[in-house]
Every structure is written in C-alpha cells, then in structure tokens.
Amino acid sequence: MNTPRKVLVVGGGAAGNATTVLLRRAGIDVDLVEAKDDWNATAGSGITLQGNALRVLRELGVWEEVKASGFPFGSVGITAPDGTVLHVQRDLRTGGADLPATVGMQRPRLQQILIDAVRASGATVRLGTTAEIRDQDASGVAVRFSDGSEHRYDLVVAADGLGSATRAQIGITDKPEPTGMAIWRVAAPRPAGVEHTDLAYGGPAFIAGYCPTSDTTLYAYVVEKNRDRSSIPTQSYAQEMRRLAGAYGGAWPAIAATITDPSKVNYTWFDRLLIEGSWHRGRVVLVGDAAHCCPPTLAQGAALSLEDAWVLVQMLTAGDDWDDQLFQRYYERRITRVRPVVEASVQIGQWQLDGVRDADVPGLMARTMTMLRELP
C-alpha cells in the first residue's frame, strides 16, 4: 500500500488536538492550524466528561493528568427549585468499570493538557492561521494559508468547529440550527458538600445545574428559552445570571453570590447539526462539531468529538487505502452512534420547551447512555 504521509488538521479544539496526537503516534506527519492566536487556551468555564470521553483521553495518554486536574464522581442529583433533593441516580460507567462515570473539569485546563500533548507529539503548529482548500484530486489536497503560503497534503481533517469554514469550502451546505434554548455558564468556587452534579428542574429556568470541576471549583449553568442576544448587554451578564440563579436553593445562594464579573459569564444558544450522507468530499473529512453538534442535555458533545478522532485514526492506520470507500465507512460507523445521541439531546430539550410533564426523560437517557458503553 502507498501510505499517505502528510495530514493537515484544521482546528485546535478537542477533536483536532486528539486527531493530531493519534496520527503522530502512528508516525504520520501532521500540520495543525488554529485560527485563534491563543489556541482557545482560556475559553469556556467547565466541562462534564463522561466515561466514553475518558476512554479516548486514556488512549491519548493524558488520563492521569485529567484525573489529577478534575473532579471524578458517579452520580447525579435531581432537586426541587428550593434545593430539596428528590432523587440521586448512579451514573453508568460508559467508559468501562476501570474509569469513573464522570469527571468535571475546568475547560481551559483540559485544553491546556491537550495542547501540551500536541506539542509533545512533534506536530507542526501554526496559530492565528486559517486554511483555504484550493484544489484536490484522488491523491491529495492543495491548501493556501492566510499568510500566503501553500502546501499539498495527502489528507485534510476539518476539525474547525460548528461554524466550519472548511465544511463550506468543500460544498457541504448544512448549517447549525437553533433548538430554541440557551444557557448561562460561569465558573465559581465550589461550596462545601457539592460532590456531584445536581439538576433543578422548574422555577424561572428550565434547568439550573452545577458540576464540580476540582476540589475548589465548579461550573454552574442555567438553561432558559433563547433570547435575542443583542438585547442583553454583555455588561449585564453577571446581573442577569445572578437574577435567574437567585430563585434556587441548596448550594445556589452561595454560588449566586460569587457571580459578579460579567466577563466571566457566557451566554450561548443551543444548536443542532447532523451532516447526513457522508462526512467527506474527496480527501477532506470532517470530525467533531464540524460534522455534528447537539445541546448539552446529555453532556456528550466533547465525547462524540473525541470518539470521531479515535475512530478516524484507527481506520486511517489499519492498512486500507485512503479513498472514498474508507471515508464512507468512517461515516457509516459514526452516524449509527452519533445520530441517537443528537436526537435524544434535542428531544429532551424539546419536551421542556413544549411543557411535556410525563416525558420519559430518565428512560431516554438510560437507553442512550447504555448504547454508549459499547466501543465506538
């Protein structure tokens, strides 16, 4: 077999970083380009990593650092808006019995761990750089970079996120669609006694929840119907999230008291995207949010992206030709796993938007998470 030897990864988030590390481990030369100068190193508040995400992070060789930096736990609490605990449910260990069910982490810390792994892999990294697909044929792809340089690659992996410019350049016209919900997020000190995620349903928001991210920190979030973002001045973000959080009891008064800096509060709409048919055009292939995204109602966005990288590199290094057949098999292997997660994540939110009180949310969650225990 004539093995292709040079890959361009566009995008330095979880999917792009994971793809880069795994390709380099297989001895393949990789250039990674990221549009942001800071490599997203400070973006985001927190992240919930379930077992199937941890399984891939272990394959990347960073599990010990993740474990040391995050907060592992194995259950989720359901509370009334006043903080009364209604039920505590054990989480499924979707990564296997030897990994925690869940780890909460500060998102910038996870990104730094992945950045360090990319650097250690020997990949060439160019920050503040974008890539344009100029031309391609059966053997490779010609790319022009924003600094004017040009290069040819055997493969381009588009990991440039929800608004992927690469996706549009290769003629895939699908775009993310709002689901009707939005989320306020903030990093905060962890009150004593917060040992796992708690979710309160009802009150002025659909969901008020938090997830411990270290011995001293957590991230908190409030989910509501989406609003016109231009109608909410950014300088009022802390005040608005504090107002919503103020309606909840339990740990929330302590959390709300720390929400004072609007620059630390993030407001984001929930979107849905699922590319159908194939995730490639020629020798350009999509991974992660460039191919699919869903609301975080099942906390599976990062996990699915990491799985994409793991599966794609497995297939690229299995000895088969890098051709349409291989990339179509990659899509078919992933879509059967990704589609149910996207659909379930959207359905849970839609039931809340529609006010369906007898929806089988626990059953849908259990069926979906049970499926994710299988290897991707």
> CA-CA distances (angstroms) from residue 365 to 57, 145, 211, 217, 369?
23, 43, 18, 27, 6
Distance CA 200, CA 180 (A): 19
Chain Cα centroid distance, residue 359:
26
Domains 6-71+105-176+273-371 and 178-270 share a fold: no
Q: What is the pLDDT of residue 1?
A: 44
Q: What is the pLDDT of residue 265?
A: 97
- Strand duo 280-281 + 124-127: pairing: unpaired
Longest Cα–Cα distance of the chain, Å, equals 64
Asked whether the beta carbons of 46 and 111 are under 8 A apart, the reply is no
Predicted confidence (pLDDT) per residue in 143-196, tens digit: 999 999 999 999 999 999 999 999 999 999 999 999 999 999 999 999 999 999
pTM over 0.85: yes
Q: What is the pLDDT of residue 212?
A: 98
Q: What is the pLDDT of residue 3?
A: 54
Domains of the chain, residue spans: 6-71+105-176+273-371, 178-270
Domain 6-71+105-176+273-371 = CATH 3.50.50.60? yes
Predicted confidence (pLDDT) per residue in 100-113, tens digit: 999 999 999 999 99
* Nearest CA among 266, 286, 267 for reference residue 276: 286
* Nearest CA among 326, 290, 279, 319 for reference residue 159: 290
CA dihedral sign of residues 235, 241, 243, 249 = negative
CATH number for region 178-270:
3.30.9.30
* Nearest CA among 309, 270, 272 for reference residue 288: 309
Point out the residues of the chain with pLDDT beneath 70: 1-4
Q: What is the pLDDT of residue 2?
A: 54
Asked whether the beta carbons of 31 and 127 are under 8 A apart, the reply is no
